[in-house]
Amino acid sequence: MTLPAPTTSSDHRSTDLPGARPTVGTTLLQTAQTFGIDLPVRYVAWEDAEGVVHVAHPDIRVLATRHGATGVDDTLDMVETATGAFSDAAAGELR
């Protein structure tokens, strides 16, 4: 997906972000275009020797700090909720 430059007064240009959710990606990219390198958020799942499934992903708030994204707490809250639900579901399905 290519996100168009915002129609509000801003100096952000179009950014290509394949596979991302437009509402989340647009909000984060309008704050910091460099966020695009970390979107969509990647996950890894594995089963250890004891049969326990683990799911890991980067902390969205750490990513926001890295990219200097501010004023997007509602979006970060939404991503944290979705990430937790996805991780829980993935771990349960892989057991």
SS (HEC) of 32-52:
CHHHHHHCCCCCEEEECCCCC
Domain containing 44 equals 2-94
Using pLDDT thresholds of 50, 70 and 90, give the confidence band for residue 25. confident
Instruction: Output the pLDDT for position 64.
Output: 96
For the chain, what is the domain count? 1
71 or 93, higher pLDDT: 71
d(CA 73, CA 76): 5
Contacts 24+ apart (CB under 8 A), 85-91: 86/43, 86/55, 87/43, 87/55, 87/57, 90/43, 90/45, 90/53, 90/55, 91/45, 91/53, 91/54, 91/55
40 or 10, higher pLDDT: 40
Average pLDDT over residues 8-22: 53
Mean per-residue pLDDT over the chain, rounded? 80
